[in-house]
Amino acid sequence: MRLVVPRLAAWAAFAAAILVAGCSTTATQSHVTELRRAAPAPKILLMPLDVELMELDMGGVLEPKPEWTAAARGFIIEEVRAKKSRLGFRLEEFPEEFPGPPEEQELVDQLVKVHAAVGRAMRQNRKLGQELQSLGDKPLWSLGEEVRVLRSRTGADYALFVHVRDSYASDGRKLVMIAGAALRGVVMGGVQSGFVSLVDLQTGDIVWNNQLGRVTGDLRTREPAMETIRSLLKDFPA
């Protein structure tokens, strides 16, 4: 059983919507089906991963679990590298120690936060459980022209942003859930939600986005984690 009580009100609303719509929902929104190839192969910059895994305790409080988060990050990077091998794009992974000046590092941190906010807005502006409409001739969502700094520093054509939040009920919480079910009440457990975006570094436009929200899945161990990540990267443009 995996049903959620998140930290934030917006996440709680999202969890409730998932329960109404069903056990799982994914949606892809795309402006491109083929990446621009100015060079023999397009170059994608994998941005710092915005990922956090948590445990829901008996009282419904979420506790961050760094060891789970580290494992999930490793699995995500592994699958992105596998995508590179299969699709043939060039990949540059954002270094843990950014070589640029502090103001550029601050910009990167802000872009990751902006992506999280824009991704949530995209999620709220669609009907849960339905495919997103095409981005059309002109993408509707952007991170702004500030992303050009990344292009000038790395030579990348696109940046890939990943945002994931996942939570798991503790043993104590599972007992509360069982007791609630016996009393015909609803006591929530954990939700897996996330979104990924491909951003054109010439314009800042989001040219591909995929969203995932469900009450199943597990990013803590390799095999179930790979299933989740492949769902997140479904229909990635070649």
Q: What is the pLDDT of residues 11-58, one digit of tens each?
A: 444 444 444 344 456 666 666 666 765 568 899 999 999 999 998 876
Asked whether residue 180 carries a pLDDT value surpassing 60, the answer given is: no
Asked whether residue 187 carries a pLDDT value surpassing 50, the answer given is: no
Asked whether residue 96 carries a pLDDT value surpassing 90, the answer given is: no
The single residue listed with the structure tokens 């095999």 is 223
For residue 69, what pLDDT is reported?
A: 97
Mean pLDDT of the chain: 79
- Rounded to 5°, the CA angle 189-24-120 comes to 85
| Stronger pLDDT, 125 or 221, i.e. the higher one | 221
Mean pLDDT along residues 178-188 = 54
Percent of the chain having pLDDT more than 70? 67
For 165, residues 6+ apart whose C-beta sits below 8 A from its C-beta are: 6, 11, 51, 52, 54, 191, 192, 193, 194
Mean pLDDT along residues 67-90 = 95
For residue 76, what pLDDT is reported?
A: 97
Mean pLDDT along residues 81-88 = 93
pTM of the predicted protein model: 0.80
pLDDT band at 172 (very low <50, low <70, confident <90, very high): low
For residue 159, what pLDDT is reported?
A: 96
For 83, residues 6+ apart whose C-beta sits below 8 A from its C-beta are: 89, 233, 236
Mean pLDDT along residues 62-81 = 95
Report the alpha-carbon distance of residue 204 to residue 140 in Å, rounded.
11
Mean pLDDT along residues 211-225 = 91
Asked whether residue 116 carries a pLDDT value surpassing 50, the answer given is: yes
The answer for 88, left when phi > 0, alpha when psi is -120 to 50, beta otherwise, is: left
For residue 34, what pLDDT is reported?
A: 67
| Stronger pLDDT, 31 or 122, i.e. the higher one | 122
For residue 216, what pLDDT is reported?
A: 85
